[in-house]
Amino acid sequence: MTTTAKPLGLKKLALGEDRFSYGHRMCAGCGAPIVVKQVLMATDYPIIATNATGCLEVSSCIQQFTAWKIPWMHSAFENSAATASGIEAMYRSLVKQGKLEDRNVKFIAFGGDGGTYDIGFQSLSGAMERGHDMMYICYDNGAYMNTGIQRSSATPFGANTTTCPAGDVIPGKPQQRKDLTRIMAAHGIPYVAQASPSYHTDLMKKVQKAFEIKGPKFMNIIAPCNRGWRSRTNDAITLAKLAVETCYWPLYEIENGVTKVTVKPKEKKPLVDFLKPQGRFKHMFAPENEDMLKQAQEYVDAQWDRLLKESAAGESEKAE
């Protein structure tokens, strides 16, 4: 890689102009705009983005008001990846034909977890398989927040949502969440990563790295939602940090099939530290649901152990 990466020191970064503007209408304290601004800030390459229908989309572009300072397109819910693939194909076509100057444009498809894990999964999988030179970024807030906090396949085990409420018989979501990051890695694409806006340097380094790689990339970024998580408006960064410290949301990357944990918590905190501040898990702390907490912790432990093993295998592979 010949390009010098943009320095990520905050005092230098803050000299630049935001490519995502104020005046958007995301709720106070939403994690999604923090994710978007960090992603766009990580690089000076020209970026064209698409957006699946969802909170970010409806709040960032209403009538004549757009928060985007880059070319941006929303067409529908399940097709952010397919739409981006069409834009990218047109770019390649016009450059190839000499009809357009090659300015090393980067393409991003944004989607929430509903538009990514669920309804948009097919179009995401297809676009990645076809090898488009684009990055898909899922901002994962763990439910369909835009339509009123319905469960998605990214909703964590036990969570209370409007379609899997903590009822007397069924206390919240019975299933564990889909591990989309690993599923995307199984596509054999060159770069897959998980990030958190609380670890902004790690997040932006991953974006930088991804943009130096030709082909399809996928990043899954946790984006706390105080409305859906039933937490406070000021705790998005704190929760996104606890998610990492409890190993609920490990920070790692899989580059050409080699797994690496990029931020390893000094001390792995118990999962309840992440669950407790969120009202969506409140019922799990009732004495009769003690087993739910145990199950949730066991799942996180198993996932983390597997990840550590894979990361260790990756490191030893590198050493050889």
Partner 1 sequence: MGKIVAVTGNEACAEALRQINPDVCAAYPITPATDLMQRFSSFVNDGKVDTELVLVESEHSAMSACIGAAAAGGRVGTATSSQGLALMWEMLYIAAGTRLPIIMPLVNRALSAPLNIHGDHSDGMGARDTGWIQFYSENAQEAYDNTIQAFRIGEHLDIRLPVMVCMDGFIVSHSIERVEYIEDADVKNFVGKFEAVNPLLDLDNPKSYGPLILTDLYHEYKRAQHEVMTKVPKVVLDVAAEFEKMTGRSYGLFETYRLDDAEMAVVVMSSAAGTTKDIIDQYRDRGVKIGLLKPRMFRPFPYQEIAEALQHVKAIAVLDRADSFGGYGPLFSEITGAVMSMNSKPAMINKIFGLGGRDYLPEQAEHVIDELIEIAKTGKVETVKEYIGVRE
Partner 2 sequence: MSKKFWEELPQGSVVLEAGSSAKFKTGGWRSMRPKWIEENCIQCMFCWMYCPDMSVKVKIEKDNKGEDKAVRADFDFDYCKGCGICALECPGKKGKKAIVMEEEGK
Chain residues in the site for partner 1 (CB under 8 A): 46, 48, 50-51, 57-58, 61-66, 68-76, 78-79, 81-94, 96-97, 99-100, 103, 105, 122-123, 125-127, 129-130
d(CA 88, CA 252): 27
Binds partner 2 by CB under 8 A, chosen from 133, 235, 253, 255:
235
- Residue 139 interacts with partner 2 (CB under 8 A)? no
* Binding site partner of 269, from partner 1, partner 2, none, Cβ cut-off 5-8 A by kind: none
169 binds partner 2 (CB under 8 A): no
DSSP label of 8: -
Q: DSSP secondary-structure letter at 170?
A: S
Residue 162's binding partner among partner 1, partner 2, none (Cβ under 5 to 8 angstroms by kind) is none
At its nearest, how many Å lie between partner 1 and the CB of residue 118?
14
- Site for partner 2 contains 57 (CB under 8 A): no
Instruction: Give the x-and-dash track for 64-83 against partner 2 (CB under 8 A).
Output: xxxxxxx-------------
- Write down the H helix ranges in the chain: 10-13, 32-41, 55-60, 80-96, 113, 121-130, 180-185, 200-211, 226-229, 236-245, 272-275, 290-319
d(CA 139, CA 299): 22
Contact partner at residue 194 from partner 2, partner 1, none, CB < 5 to 8 Å by partner kind: none
End-to-end CA distance of the chain: 22
Note whether 229 binds partner 2 by CB under 8 A. Answer: no
C-alpha radius of gyration, the chain, whole number: 19
Angle at 137 between CA 35 and CA 186, to 5 degrees: 135
Q: Any idea what DSSP says for residue 155?
A: S
Q: Exactly one of 234, 286, 294, 301 binds partner 2 (CB under 8 A); which one?
A: 234
Q: How far is residue 13 from each of residues 16, 37, 63, 205, 309, measured CA to CA in Å? A: 6, 11, 31, 13, 35
* Chain mean position to CA 251: 11
* Distance in angstroms (rounded) separating the CA atoms of residues 239 and 25: 22
Residue 26 touches which of partner 1, partner 2, none (Cβ within 5-8 Å per kind): partner 2
Query: In this complex, which beta carbon is closest to partner 2, that of residue 21 or of residue 125?
Result: 21
Check binding of 25 to partner 2 (CB under 8 A).
yes
Residues in touch with partner 2 (CB under 8 A) = 10-15, 18, 20-34, 37-38, 60-70, 197, 200, 232-238
